Copies of this chain bind each other. A is one copy, B any other.
């Protein structure tokens, strides 16, 4: 039996269910979809009439420059809501980071079901977190060095689960596109962190933090 991403972060962990009536209703009412790794959930500029929630696995939102350069906006993990947009259409596209399950429901249907107040609360919560993360991301991309970015990222991942070993649901390329680096720089930085005994990898996608203080200090 191998440790997978899902076994580590079930949707019910972290108290993410039950906080919000509308979120619960979303999971109950929503259509359950199985999405294969790298399959698109919605595209950039498509109409944003559906609201999604990750049941298992993880999702990324991405934005492309005309010449193909890619930036990942955020990762979404089990229990999290995504796809809510302030505007009419999706500003990013969303794809499955690994094989995963999501539930989707029409915004209008959800609103009708739980009432405007509960619906608005959910939208507000989701948007707030979105903004929070985006602003933190701006600081990371604007002013942190490569090692600081990678360290920050590992800290975030480690904080998500209190587990001994943290499992990364994404590959190196996704990390790079999230951190505004190349895959080679990410790889080299991870190697350094291991050599300095700050973290320890068991396989490509599983690591343990050996020196939380050092990692935290490196995150700047």
Contact = CB atoms under 8 A, between A and B. Distances in A.
Interface in A127-180: 127-132, 134-135, 137-139, 141-144, 177, 179-180
B132 A73 contact: no
A144 B131 CA distance: 21
Nearest to A181: B142
A21 interface: no
B144 A142 contact: no
Interface string A40-68: 00000000000000000000000101110
A197 B144 CA distance: 33
A186 to B, nearest CB: 13
A128 B128 contact: no
A69 interface: yes
A1 B124 CA distance: 47
B143 A91 contact: no
Contact of A65 (B65, B69, B132, B139): B139
Given A86-B127, A120-B120, A127-B127, A65 B134 contact: no
Contact of A138 (B87, B129, B138): B138
A92 interface: yes
Contact of A143 (B65, B130, B138, B144): B65
Contact of A220 (B67, B144, B220): B67
A46 to B, nearest CB: 16
A194 interface: no
A139 B220 CA distance: 21
A206 interface: no
A205 interface: no
Closest 7 CB pairs of A and B: A86-B128, A142-B180, A141-B141, A134-B134, A71-B142, A69-B143, A71-B143
